[in-house]
Structure 1
Amino acid sequence: MKLNRLTLYQVEKILKGRFSSDDLLTLSKLPKPDMFKDMRRATDRVVKGVERGERIVIVGDYDVDGVVSVSILKMFFRDIGLDIDWVIPNRFIDGYGFTESLFDRVKEYDLIITVDNGISSLEASKLCRDADIDLIITDHHIVPDEIPIAHAIVNQKQKDCKFPYGDVCGAQIAWYLIASLKISLNIDIDIKRYLPFVAIAVVADMVPLLNINRAMVKFGIKAMDRYTHPPIEAIIDEVGKGNIDSDRIAFFIAPLLNSAGRLKDAKYGVEFLLSETIDEAKIKLEELKELNSKRKDIENRITDEAMSRADLNDNILIIAGDNWHEGVIGIVASRVARAYKRPVIILTKIAGNRYKGSGRSFTDCNIFQIVNGSRELLERFGGHNSALGLTIKDENLDRFREEINRRFIDENYSSKFIDRDIIGEIEVRSIGFSLYEIIKRYEPFGEGNRRPKFIAKGVTIERVEFLGRGGEHQKLLFNQNGTSIYGLLFRDRREFRIGEVVDITFTLHENSFNGRSRIEIILDEINSQ
């Protein structure tokens, strides 16, 4: 791929060209709640339950989207003086979503509302019907051929749903239910106060940051300083006022909330978000930080083991371990995929000579499509273009590896590996606050609007410093034609020579310390010339 050397004007033109007028939607132009199929029916049933004093419970999911969805709906009811219960499945006991085992914990209620799950809960819905419990499903996932039995299903992916945006997350639908309930209950409450939490869910769930998603995230991040929420205050105290952006959500806040569900129980994430005092929030935040630290240690150990076992003759890496923590294998797959620049499936052995695994793609490779061709070898399988989960018997593993690697070659993916986040070449002298301010205008960055990467060619390494407990990170000083800049390289122990001339791929970031700021680069690649 030939890259042009960019001017600041050209950088702005490229970034501006990513958006249509609809992509730049503002909060005031959001679609109305009634555009969702069944939203009116769901709202009327909840209002009826509230007026009758029925026992109502919210059923969420153990990822960030599910945790936030439960939290904002619970907050809304709490803010209007109603005590509504909630339940989150345990990843290791209950499995995903509203399952039959989870039904046993909610069978005494009159009304069950699912958030960020439920569209695949066929068996649990039958149990609700048999127990004469009304079920309202709010979900954003793909609608299966056979849908659950429910009083109402609110899901933008239903064929006859008129909501104009298909890629929204569960917390957004939960927020729309809140908006609809506010109207029907005729309550004077500012529901925009819940958008800081919705912003966290949107970024964490990796839906495209365009149109409605962009509008909600942009407002939600700004609103973090506007509304009083103890958990948000605790996070701001941790990272500094004005320092929360989409990257901070993706790499700090989301992993914190996820760590509870990955290692212990997602209920601890909900309890943190529902903290009613700053002291309570700070205590719970420290507990999450401790869990996240353990998660990192486990993840680092498994990543090192997985990388040592990788067969680099394969185009799609399948790496299996006997006792790897299933709560982190998805993250490990992502890290190994980035390190080896190819799709990766990480497997951990479970009962019955079977493996449970997570797969992550790399660039344009549709890993779901490739694996789907070998579906008959799998016990369980699901996912989307860039990520998947599966269960496979030990006896099918070798054939599975052969088939998906052959299919990878047949689809000619090896010639398609292009990093589309790279927008062009730039000189080191152009890296500074002027370029950074141009980039900043097009935040938030994430899926659908990736943070732009640049290449600088022919730069000289002037200094190398190893960082981290085990020297797994590096801080390097580069020089190009008399202009120097610092760069950070994470999780890379390669040894570089002082004076070595290299090409670097990177993103720009602002480093603020003691009231002073400088622009530095986060390195994605260092290649010798």
Structure 2
Amino acid sequence: MKKRWVQAIQGNMEVADSLAQELNIDKSLAQILAQRGISSFDEARSFFRPEMASLHNPFLMKDMNRAIERIDEALLKGEKILVYGDYDVDGTTSVALTYSFFSRLTKEIDFYIPDRHKEGYGISTVGIDYAKAHGFSLIIALDCGIKSIDKVAYANSLGIDFIICDHHLPGETLPAAAAILDPKREDCSYPFKELAGCGIGFKLAQAYSLQHGLPAAQYEQYIDLVMVSIAADIVPVNDENRVLAYHGLIKLNTNPSIGLKALMEISGKAKDYTLTDVVFSLAPRINAAGRMDHAKQAVKMLLCTENDLAQEQSLLINLQNTERKTSDQNITAEALALIGECEILVNKKTTVVYHENWNKGVIGIVASRLTEKYYRPTVVLTKSNGLLTGSARSVAGFDLYEALLGCEDLMVQFGGHKFAAGLTLQPEHIDAFSERFENIVAATITEDLLCPEIRIDNEIMLSQIDGKFQRIIAQMAPFGPHNMAPVFVSHNVTIMGRPYVVGTKHLKLAIKQQNSPIFESIGFGMAEEYEHVLQPNRPFSVCYTIEENVWREQRRLQLNIKGIKADNDLKG
């Protein structure tokens, strides 16, 4: 697929010059720091060495005092507390963290994860009825609940209070909960709005510890869980999330929780994890429990305190992940066939596909694959309990949530954020929904947004790249939204030797530029795309990230290629 190359806006050059001198780093790297809002030595130090002390005061969050007061009341009276969370990675890590923290303070506590296939997303009537039947009078809901007005009202009628810890966008009306912790509330002045759901649970534990003089270790011991949620939920990796991800990775790589350690071992990579490794190795396995069976299995694994049990649970989850892979590959093939058969879909700005027999647990993955294939906002639907339930995915820069908001009257419920959402609708509304969704997107999306972009941070010469250059880049990690790995572009590059294919679709080649060293390079998924460009003695331009490749204990610099263009085609 053709991609646009977009040069990032350069930072303040005077600031970059000053940073380069003060930090003794290459000016090209100093320019990247300036682009990311760093303007002084102290800010650079905080960026390269994030400190837990820089976390915001949790009591700045609206309703935090009320939440602590209600929990204190429950603990004092011996009330039963139910920790309730969604069935994805963010929800299960949130539940594991919050349950672990408060179970040290009371035995009158349990957790509940809704069944994806029977109850669906968010707070369910079944879950509330379970709480009532088992004597729970306080529910702490994590990663869900901000739009559950009717469900919270129902719980209140049964004498059950809610504390909602969510990070999704609220509706016009808030639920009548005892406390609502959500930085996206319009009346919440908390300085950072982009915490994951597990991050909200972490702030609740932090606030309780501060209020009662508990040592920081009481809540900081769960920081690897917070990091996993940050990676899996693809939230911005800046501000507090950068601090939490940075220290969470340190814990994961040095002293992980027993459950995560077992999962790391069974995944085949037991150390040196990055956020990207978490996204592609740990997160899918945790998610697989809720997709193929029940997410409580993931929580049980995350709560393990014994190695044998952790290994048993991780083995179960790994098997479920294998089953998930087969299922989503089959459904993706079926969805692609449906789109190929339906000519009208080919020329649209959106994709909406439906099949009543698709596995509800994997349609989110299928939506992501279709979005990657056709690069347009996508909804994949299946039938569940008489309704159509679906997952939606967006393209970079387009607000999916706002588009769905325009279809609100056609849906039973929906929730999510700019790039991903879940929805439910009556079967008879699918045609009207598809038409409305298409019209809204077509009227608001630009052609540029329908073409994936490669955002380039800076142009450099290959001769600038050495061990020190790469080590500085490595210290900019963890990478993710709002702090992506720097992408560089170099022009007038030539190939050395003959490129070859690794596996079935990855391009391996060696390149150099004038008098630079030769750099081994890999382009994932590029095997068939660039035969017309990569000719001997024909110069081209390449954009790439720089990484350290480790093979049989040998470390060497490698360029991870993101795009290749003939030098006479740079305007394309």
TM-score by length of 2: 0.81
- 1:297 and 1:40, CA in 2 relative to 1: closer, same or farther beyond 3 A? same
Deviation at 1:146, TM superposition (A): 2.5
| Structure 2 residue 174 is the aligned partner of structure 1 residue 147 | yes
Query: Match for residue 359 of structure 2?
Result: 325
Stretches of structure 1 lacking an aligned partner (at least 5 in a row): none
Query: Match for residue 281 of structure 1?
Result: 310
Partner letter of residue 443 of structure 1? A
Deviation at 1:322, TM superposition (A): 4.5
Partner letter of residue 501 of structure 2? E
Deviation at 1:266, TM superposition (A): 1.0
Q: 413, 424, 444: which is aligned to 2:446?
A: 413
Moved more, 275-284 or 504-513: 504-513
- Residues in 2 aligned to 1:135 and 1:408: alpha-carbon distance in whole angstroms: 36
**Any conservation in 2 of the 1:421–1:451 contact (CA below 8 Å)?**
no
Query: Match for residue 103 of structure 1?
Result: 128
Q: Deviations over 1:276-300 (max 9, x none)?
A: 1222222222222222222222222
Q: 19, 23, 34: which is aligned to 2:37?
A: 19
Instruction: Kindly report which structure 2 residues correspond to 1:39-118, keeping only aligned pairs within 5 A, or say none.
Output: 39-80=64-105, 82=107, 84-107=109-132, 108-118=135-145
Deviation at 1:114, TM superposition (A): 1.5
**Any conservation in 1 of the 2:6–2:456 contact (CA below 8 Å)?**
no
Query: Match for residue 489 of structure 1?
Result: 524
SS at match of 1:318: strand
Percent identity between the two aligned chains: 28
Partner letter of residue 357 of structure 2? N
SS at match of 1:413: coil
Query: Match for residue 295 of structure 1?
Result: 324
- 1:437 and 1:16, CA in 2 relative to 1: closer, same or farther beyond 3 A? farther
- 1:306 and 1:462, CA in 2 relative to 1: closer, same or farther beyond 3 A? farther
**Any conservation in 2 of the 1:63–1:266 contact (CA below 8 Å)?**
yes
Deviation at 1:407, TM superposition (A): 4.8
TM-score by length of 1: 0.87
Q: Deviations over 1:240-290 (max 9, x none)?
A: 565112111222122221111122111111111101122222222222222
- Residues in 2 aligned to 1:272 and 1:196: alpha-carbon distance in whole angstroms: 14
Deviation at 1:88, TM superposition (A): 0.8
**Which structure 1 residue ranges, 4+ long, deviate > 6 Å from structure 2?**
none
Q: Deviations over 1:430-453 (max 9, x none)?
A: 555444323212111112222233
Stretches of structure 2 lacking an aligned partner (at least 5 in a row): 11-24
SS at match of 1:118: coil
Partner letter of residue 477 of structure 1? L
Deviation at 1:13, TM superposition (A): 1.6
- Residues in 2 aligned to 1:430 and 1:398: alpha-carbon distance in whole angstroms: 56
- 1:428 and 1:397, CA in 2 relative to 1: closer, same or farther beyond 3 A? farther
- 1:263 and 1:522, CA in 2 relative to 1: closer, same or farther beyond 3 A? farther
SS at match of 1:223: helix
- Residues in 2 aligned to 1:127 and 1:2: alpha-carbon distance in whole angstroms: 51
- 1:162 and 1:314, CA in 2 relative to 1: closer, same or farther beyond 3 A? closer
**Any conservation in 1 of the 2:6–2:454 contact (CA below 8 Å)?**
no
Partner letter of residue 522 of structure 2? G
**Any conservation in 2 of the 1:359–1:387 contact (CA below 8 Å)?**
yes
Query: Match for residue 17 of structure 2?
Result: none
Query: Match for residue 253 of structure 1?
Result: 282
**Any conservation in 1 of the 2:86–2:144 contact (CA below 8 Å)?**
yes
Query: Match for residue 464 of structure 1?
Result: 500
- Residues in 1 aligned to 2:404 and 2:74: alpha-carbon distance in whole angstroms: 45
**Any conservation in 1 of the 2:454–2:562 contact (CA below 8 Å)?**
no
SS at match of 2:176: coil
- Residues in 2 aligned to 1:398 and 1:427: alpha-carbon distance in whole angstroms: 53
SS at match of 1:254: helix
Query: Match for residue 205 of structure 1?
Result: 233
**How many residue pairs were aligned?**
522
Q: 2, 6, 10: which is aligned to 2:28?
A: 10
Deviation at 1:43, TM superposition (A): 1.4
- 1:312 and 1:478, CA in 2 relative to 1: closer, same or farther beyond 3 A? farther
